[in-house]
Structure 1
């Protein structure tokens, strides 16, 4: 047998070796250098570098500062020996014994090195006692395609006009001023994905981005407005500001119609998820029976609402009647809240659940956490009555719900002969 035949691993095509190495951690990839001469430096050309708890091994009793020192030396060593382009650099101390111990100077040094290497994907998932100030050198890195920052502070220089090639931006527990944020978004002409989680520095979000396609907003924000977002297709909203009903009511004072404002530039939205108490924001002000511009592309809608609040119910009905091609609808009942809106004198089926101008095209409906109240059952009756192409409705009530609920569901008339109503009881 020849040496060439015995060393088959060195005969593998480069793209196969690269794919194999991409599945390994930095530590494991480095160990492959002993396999053969061809593999000796192969690890140092890998374009995706991920540094996490798998990079260092430590004895159970080893001091966290010693582990942190090993981690920093590993990052420095890899960056020093690495040759070729670096497409992705991710560093995370999540799950590490030395969490929160990496110094600012170390991260500054790494970012400076990466900006000189035309990094495309940068993910900083490091915990600091105080927000890490992103160095100015990063704002000159126009090669960035994806930027993911955690526990940081963004203070761009005055001359910063955005990232020309940025496609994805995720900020979690990041502090940034309102003007700086808006300039960053509007100045990134290729931005398609935006994720904001617990971002502070402003309370009103204004998004101006003709290229944006996906938005995920979670945090203590008071309102959202979209402008020039014709390509925006998927939106997830969770506004924790509205957890406090008194705070929410103070925000509503003097507003005309948040529903109209919110959907004014969402003409092509396809998927909308309104979590937790966020429907309170949309229901503020005057709730129209139907939006002036229909959401003809909306096919998926998920909402969490209080069935004791007729204003919230009206807002949801408005969305249903304004979405002629909606196919999947998920509804989650919130915990009961005190409200004066739902009374025997004010509640009327004919007034609230009026027949829509166009029959609903719902095919799949899922309703969770209901307790069998009149308003909940009336909502279900409305959906069954005006959904002629409905295929399946899943109803999953809270625990220990009254057994009469099943009887009520069976008795409701259905516009669709194929509609299957599935009752899923929660395990006690």
Structure 2
């Protein structure tokens, strides 16, 4: 934008085509900016001064660790009092100041006319609340039931429908996150039944007094379960009639091994994981997994194309068992996690020797893998044997990414040795690319992925970010 400065005010230059747009379009542009940036557009010119006050309000204090901070209540109140509305997004995670009454403060904010017609609501009182001490769902939140499309509720208590409380009915809601909330089983089922447009759902393993959740939805495309803490933790999740379900995601590494997830009918399920090394138990009809191991493979699931596993040791036997269950698998992510106790299927000292053991299988096993990512690759005999199996037998492989110890970064001799051991020159797929990557900051992990990645259905693979580590020189 070209401007000419005249004193305290900037006058629009002749080439300022953006400011010639109608107010409605400018308002949409401003509402997509961060709250502070949207407010600052008023200084651009006199033409822009009124845009922010009338544009759909976007109050979003969200950040990712370590960016979370306490937002002064007066700052948020000032924004709401100075805006004419309507509202689009109100996102206040863990904002509470010492001495503040979070329930009363939030309820007052949500009554503001600046939030009329709100489409996105996210708040979380505190991770410290147990269900017996959770503040209630703000009564004023109900006024957005007809307009909400995105909702995330954290550490609040929902009214009990069995006790005469009104259950939320959200007919336009497409994305729902319930993070350590207090809610009864019947109220939860009633609320889900009222979400007739729901496409993605995130729940924590601790969810009120619920020990069992049954999910049946004709519209749901993504379900994620995150491990958590609480007085009551889920024992069973049943996914019944889910004809559009494409993703079943688990995040965390401390699930209770007693928990069972049963998939009754999900014919379009394509993305599955991350499966922790030891638990929970997952059932696809007669096919049963205990953590990241196959217990019974009586039924194949041909729809699954993306799989993420967490292993105590890199086991070729386990991966081949999964490939038999998921014969159309294309993308495979494996995280090797130190500190797990070994289970019966993964023994210490595994070598992954395969030439004699799988000599007959190789001619019949249709390996459709196009992408393989392995974390904490050590370059020892077992890891080399594992990767070598796919180098020599995966005929349509396009990419193999091996995340190695940072001590090998720029160690060309070590990388060249690994290429020789893996027999890259003899690879079955001549178009395949092999990359060693090294992570210099926070160790990368499959267990923790943000809710917005779960809800973002525009990406074909929610684990694809693992390709964005620093790559070694070839």
TM-score for the superposition, normalised by structure 2: 0.66
Q: Deviations over 1:63-90 (max 9, x none)?
A: x99x835325414513xx514x323233
TM-superposed CA distance for 1:47, in Å, is 1.2
Q: Structure 2: state its 5+ residue gaps.
A: 1-10, 64-68, 229-233, 283-288, 442-474
- Encode CA deviations 1:92-145: one digit per residue, 9 max, x unaligned: 565x9x478464212112324469933221122554864331134534622211
Question: 1:48: which partner in 2?
Answer: 57
Is the CA contact (8 Å cut-off) linking 1:384 and 1:414 kept in structure 2? yes
- Specify the alignment match of 1:21 in structure 2: 30
> Corresponding residue for 1:232?
245
Counterpart of 1:304 (choices 307, 310, 330) is 310
The offset of 1:146, in angstroms, is 0.9
Please tell me whether the aligned partners of residues 239 and 277 of structure 1 are also in contact (alpha carbons under 8 angstroms): no
1:216 paired to 2:218: no
1:394, CA displacement in angstroms? 2.7
CA deviation after TM superposition for structure 1 residue 147, in Å: 0.6
Answer whether contact 2:88 2:115 (CA < 8 A) is retained: no
1:269–1:295: 8 Å Cα contact kept in structure 2? Answer: no
What SS does structure 1 have at the residue aligned with 2:72? helix
1:321 aligns with 2:330: no
1:68 touches 1:102 (CA, 8 Å); kept in 2? Answer: no
**Any idea what SS the aligned residue of 1:181 has?**
helix
**2:423 matched to 1:410?**
yes
> Do residues 332 (structure 1) and 335 (structure 2) align?
yes
- C-alpha distance in 2, partners of 1:200/1:184? 14
Deviations 1:209-228, CA, capped at 9 Å, x for gaps: 22111223211455543111
Deviation per residue, 1:259-311 (Å, 9 max, x gap): xx645433212223315446663432993674624333x33222221227x7x
> Which position in structure 1 is the counterpart of 2:372?
365
Q: What residue is the counterpart of 2:215 in the other structure?
A: 207
In structure 1, the gaps of 5 or more residues are 1-5, 55-63, 253-257
CA RMSD, Structure 1 to Structure 2 (Å):
4.4
The higher radius of gyration belongs to 1
Q: Tell me the distance in 1 between the aligned counterparts of 2:217 and 2:121.
A: 22
Deviation at 1:192, TM superposition (A): 0.5
- Structure 1 range deviating more: 222-231 or 282-291: 282-291
* CA 390–15 in structure 1, closer or farther in 2 if over 3 Å, else same: same
**In structure 2, what is the Cα distance between the partners aligned to 1:382 and 1:270?**
24
Deviations 1:230-274 (A, max 9, x none): 2111232124434xxxx63xx28xxxxx7xx64543321222331
Q: Distance in 1 between matches of 2:350 and 2:28?
A: 68
SS at match of 2:265: coil
Number of aligned residue pairs: 391
Question: Who is 1:284 aligned against?
Answer: 290
More helix by share: 1
The equivalent position to 1:166 in structure 2, one of 166, 173, 178, is: 173
Distance 2:79 2:326 in 1: 51
Contact kept, 8 Å, 1:142 with 1:165, in 2: the verdict is yes
* Contact 2:237–2:262, Cα closer than 8 Å, also in 1: yes
Structure 1 CA distance for aligned equivalents of residues 400 and 155 of structure 2: 42
CA contact (8 A) 2:180 2:207 kept: yes
Q: Identify if the C-alpha distance between structure 1 residues 238 and 278 changes in structure 2 by more than 3 Å, giving closer, same or farther.
A: farther
Corresponding residue of 1:150: 154
Displacement of 1:28 in angstroms is 6.1
Once the two structures are TM-superposed, the CA of residue 190 in structure 1 deviates from its matched residue by 0.7
Name the structure 1 match of 2:468. Answer: none
- In structure 2, relative to structure 1, the CA distance for the partners of 1:45 and 1:111 (3 Å cut) is same
- Quote the offset at 1:382 in angstroms: 3.7
Distance of aligned partners of 1:156 and 1:166 in 2 relative to their CA distance in 1, 3 Å threshold: farther
Cα distance in 2 for partners of 1:351, 1:314 equals 10
Matches of 2:185 and 2:247, distance apart in 1: 23
The corresponding residue for 1:57 is: none
2:265 alignment counterpart: 265
Mapped contact 1:406–1:423 kept (Cα < 8 A): no
Normalised by the length of structure 1, the TM-score is 0.72
Q: Return the alpha-carbon distance in structure 2 between the equivalents of residues 289 and 41 of structure 1.
A: 64
Greater shift, 383-392 or 351-360, is seen at: 351-360
| Equivalent-residue separation in structure 2 for 1:143 and 1:334 (angstroms) | 43
